Structure 1
């Protein structure tokens, strides 16, 4: 049963945030009768975004007007949240609901946690394509079909980069890129037995070639094509370029950009083509390690890690390209889609939930990706240095 509290401190803090316009994760509803569909739309929006607080019995202006009987209203909420016709997943439990008594009126305070990736989309009306909402700014917004499809893809534990591509084979791979990868692999793993394998078996060992037992089909995986595929094969599979790199001038310049690359080829080639552009002109102070000058600065390290993160964590099922902006004031790396790890965990923990685990492993095998969950902290550490 929800707890009853006459301590208004929680409500006071929430009202204060409302008045300061911090309302991304805060919503007031003037519920006095039955719980209407707008309440469930807000629950859906909070659950599909970053969670939030839902206060029942408060006007839009933040004035407490009550919900009538707080016990009845909270019971109604908890009963209905278990009804799949109301909402697809019971994201809240009794421990998330509290009755606040303010000026003799009962308010119901609901903490709506963010739903786990595997439980999304959380939707109402029994239909994800009409009942899925997300939180943007101060309101709830209905998701488009591509947004719902993205959530459904993300909910799966089957990594899309391990999918075998029908009708693609070794002839769709760039021999020079594969040879370059093998040389780097040998440098990092000089005693590996995989060095003696032919190309198809070597690809199988690193995840670029696979047999799907369900379909009794084997061939190049999505990760294999992305790693070292020919440009025309990647374009045929995806339909547009993977990465848009722009070096832009000062804001008041008449030029739109100083350098631009729309990359349509494989990811190893992208690494070789874009990293020099990203670090070109970066000041290198004179430093010695023993008798050898050090040409790598913390900026080089941070930029390299950011580029690798962009390449291996992008959602390549999305139609839009990854974007890299270099300006006089800094760098911006932007992938389509959303992070599979909450923002707070990205910066504070080593939690990892890679979208493309095969690609991550491929890059790690040649020393171009950190261990799971250390990418963002490594970037921040290098940048602070």
Structure 2
């Protein structure tokens, strides 16, 4: 934090990531409440040497900055807190007064408290609040993020899986993802390989997804997905609490269909919808709500006392998801990070093409709702919950299928549609190379437009080094009557695969393009040497990236 940034912060009236303390001669006792709150919530700056009176701030400085700094750091390292809190510290001189600034990051080992668990604090608005028992329990569950629902539901068996739900799920998979390998398995292998069951017992995730309600309630006593339709813009704006409330259903799979049916009727859908919630043509508003629903079911903290809920008001729809995010929302969106709270549930939605292959689908939710309604959904992220709000007051709705070339936004929309339709790379290796190459040839036009729009330099290098142009693609590539493809075309197809899934392996690419691993390695080296792609990270854990310049 620079001196100018500090002064700018002092001009703000409210903040969640900034707290000032006078600390003129010593560290105030309530400083540790702020350390705990920042560690348990979203991190923030703790400033010593500034006095706040109401909305006014006075820079007083600290009398002995070296002592204050050492006392603060030694106390943090000395066992006052239950876990070590790494800090970053800075010193500024303003009008002759020394101000100390300490950055407290959000902890991976929440809850963070001082002296005893009773001294656990969280940040609400611009102040520190003592955490409730439920909030502390939520922090402990976050320590097992991504593992809790993968545990065994002790005492369960195949008899606790709902036969109708299982049959419906398998039928849905066979129709909407017919090439996925799981369709070939008998029931026992199907349940084991998707980890619905582990040995003779159900996993908690499998039970939630396809189990019998009576059994689910033994492990999740208040299991439900709450959906209310409220005849007003808020609870205070209505004379009755609700006009519709969703009944109880067996499991998450059955809840999905009931929720999607209600949501479908609340958006201006311009194209015909299938009963399972799939649009037969482009309907971005419905796609955004469907993605939000699936995200809520996948990422909810199902152990929380609160339940996932949907509130449909006359002018907006709210999705409430108990359980915070594993990382700040901007980082999840910017890096397309996939950190599911419930991996088994996430996979079960993904293999029937109801979920994105990576990340939280946040970009898709935003993009589709903007395309439909010309407004952005609002994400209200707290440490133990997430609310997504969709405005229903339509402004400039998209009433027709976007055409490539109309605008950069429509081109991006088309490319996202291509990504969804192409599916999961790992599952694509189960298809014949002829079918894969034909499908890749079918998206030449969209890809070249997407490449020009987002990676102009890479597109220019392709033209200069390989002669790959839109004209050549139309003239020479994509001849469906020919199964063979040239070296240049295969290299181009590999580039498409990299953009579809940047951590694709040489083995996967070789199966899809029907060439050897060594040939794929040669193609990758050629693309890398010509400055078109670059490798980020290690050979095992890294990924490929098209170079922007």
Matched, 1:259 2:244: yes
Task: Please provide the CA RMSD for this pair.
Answer: 2.2
Aligned partner of 1:106 in structure 2 is: 98
Please give the alpha-carbon distance, in whole angstroms, between the structure 1 residues aligned to 2:223 and 2:181.
36
In the other structure, the counterpart of 2:357 is 371
Q: Work out the CA distance in 1 between the residues paired with 2:146 and 2:207.
A: 18
* 1:273 aligns to 2:268 (yes or no): no
- Report the counterpart of residue 354 of structure 1 in structure 2: 340
Is the Cα contact below 8 Å between 2:311 and 2:318 reproduced in 1?
yes
Q: What is the aligned partner in structure 2 of residue 228 from structure 1?
A: 210
- Give how far 1:104 is off: 2.4
Q: Say which of 98, 118, 123 aligns to 1:135.
A: 123
Query: Alpha-carbon deviation of 1:188?
Result: 4.4
Question: Could you give the per-residue CA deviations for residues 24-59 of structure 1, whole angstroms, max 9, x where no partner exists?
Answer: 222111113332331121011112111112110111
Runs of 5+ in structure 2 lacking a partner? 273-278, 372-549
Please state how far the C-alpha of 1:167 moved relative to its aligned partner: 1.3
Structure 2 CA distance for aligned equivalents of residues 191 and 279 of structure 1: 28
Are the equivalent residues in 2 in contact too, given 1:314–1:336 (CA < 8 A)? Answer: yes
Alignment equivalent of 2:311, drawn from 325, 328, 335: 325
Per the alignment, residue 304 of structure 1 pairs with 290
Structure 2 partner of 1:9:
4
CA distance in 2, matches of 1:192, 1:372: 17
> For the residues of structure 2 that align with 1:178 and 1:250, how far apart are their CA atoms?
38
Q: Which residue of 2 aligns with 1:58?
A: 50
Which of 111, 116, 132 matches 1:121? 111
**Highest relative contact order (Cα 8 Å, sep 6+), 1 or 2?**
1
Contact 1:249 1:258 (C-alpha < 8 Å) held by counterparts: yes
Equivalent residue for 2:391? none
> Which structure is larger by alpha-carbon Rg, 1 or 2?
2
On the 8 A contact 2:20/2:46 being kept in 1, the answer is: yes
Counterpart residue number, 1:215: none
Contact map agreement 1:284 1:295 (CA 8 A) in 2: no
TM-score (norm 1): 0.87
In 1, Cα distance between equivalents of 2:214 and 2:366: 36
Could you say which residue in structure 1 is the equivalent of 2:152? 164
Q: Which residue is 1:238 aligned to?
A: 220
- CA shift, 1:370, in A, is 0.7
Measured at CA, do residues 244 and 376 of structure 1 come closer, stay the same or move farther in structure 2, by a change above 3 Å? same
Q: Does 1:26 align with 2:18?
A: yes
Q: Return the alpha-carbon distance in structure 2 between the equivalents of residues 365 and 176 of structure 1.
A: 19
* Runs of 5+ unmatched residues, structure 1: 212-217, 288-292
The CA deviation at 1:363 is 0.7
Q: CA deviation digits over 1:67-101, x for unaligned, max 9?
A: 11212221222222212224522231xxx211222
For 2:67 and 2:155, the matched residues in 1 are separated by: 60
Aligned-partner Cα distance in 1 for 2:119–2:132: 10
SS at match of 2:52: coil
Deviation, 1:358, is: 1.0
**How far 1:250 moved relative to its partner?**
2.1
Is 1:180 the counterpart of 2:168? The answer is yes
CA distance in 2: counterparts of 1:244 and 1:8, whole angstroms: 48
Q: Distance in 1 between matches of 2:205 and 2:281?
A: 32
Q: Hey, what's the Cα distance between the residues in 2 that align with 1:8 and 1:209?
A: 57
Provide the rounded CA distance (Å) in 2 between the counterparts of 1:304 and 1:10: 41
Q: 1:24 to 1:191 in 2, by over 3 A?
A: closer
From 195, 198, 204, the counterpart of 2:192: 204
Q: Secondary structure at the match of 1:363?
A: helix
Residue 40 in 1 paired to residue 26 in 2?
A: no
Distance across 2 between alignment mates of 1:283 and 1:88: 51
Contact 1:246 1:260 in 2 (8 A): yes
Aligned counterpart, 1:290: none
Cα distance per residue 1:343-369 (max 9 Å; x no partner): 222444412221101110111011111
Contact 2:295 2:360 in 1 (8 A): no
Aligned length: 359
